[in-house]
Amino acid sequence: MRLSSLTGLILMIEPDERASVRITSALEHVGLKAVTFPDARAISEALSLHRPNLVLAEFLTHRLDGLSLYLRLREQGYLGPVVLMSSTSTPMDRAIGLRLGIDDWVSKPVHMDELVARIQAILRRVAQPNHKEGARAARTQLNPPV
């Protein structure tokens, strides 16, 4: 799959409007569309309005941290990739998040080329035909039938 053929909708949760504009511009430059929300509290509404290919979120937003956001996304049935960004997380936060299933964790300040490249790599991976079977197997391991 060529990079130029990647398209998708990124649901972004970023409270900093300047950062949001910069990231949206970088994503649009490579053909990705971003829908931005300033706060993770709107995640239910966002998921009911949009079917994102990837969720990109600030680790700490008003009243909800990235790990809680990740768990809420899964509870609401979103099984797609999640990338967190943070300037304040600890190595333990990142390790816990990655073990929970967060696909990537990017340190701020974010270098736009690196962020876009990471998102493109994840989107390429999930576009592979066998990815859905792998996701289903992982979900079964996390929540085995009783």
**Length of the chain measured in residues:** 146
Which pLDDT belongs to residue 131? 61
Max Cα separation, the chain?
47
Which residue has better confidence, 99 or 143? 99
pLDDT beyond 60 at 60: yes
Whether residue 89 has pLDDT greater than 90: no
What's the rounded Cα separation, in Å, for the pair 17 and 30? Answer: 20
6-28 pLDDT tens trace: 678 999 998 899 999 999 999 99
Residue 62: pLDDT band with limits 50, 70, 90: low
Distance separating alpha carbons of residues 16 and 20, to the nearest angstrom: 6
| Across 123-136, average pLDDT | 74
Domain ranges of the chain: 3-142
Asked if the model's pLDDT at residue 4 lies above 50, the reply is no
Domain 3-142: give its CATH architecture: 3-Layer(aba) Sandwich (3.40)
Rounded Cα gap, residues 131 and 94, in angstroms: 24
Tell whether pTM > 0.75: yes
Give one DSSP letter per residue of the chain, joined into a string: --GGG--EEEEEE-S-HHHHHHHHHHHHHTTEEEEEES-GGGHHHHHHH---SEEEEESEETTEEHHHHHHHHHHTT--S-EEEEESS--HHHHHHHHHHT--EEEESSPPHHHHHHHHHHHHHHHTSTTHHHHHHHHHHHHS---
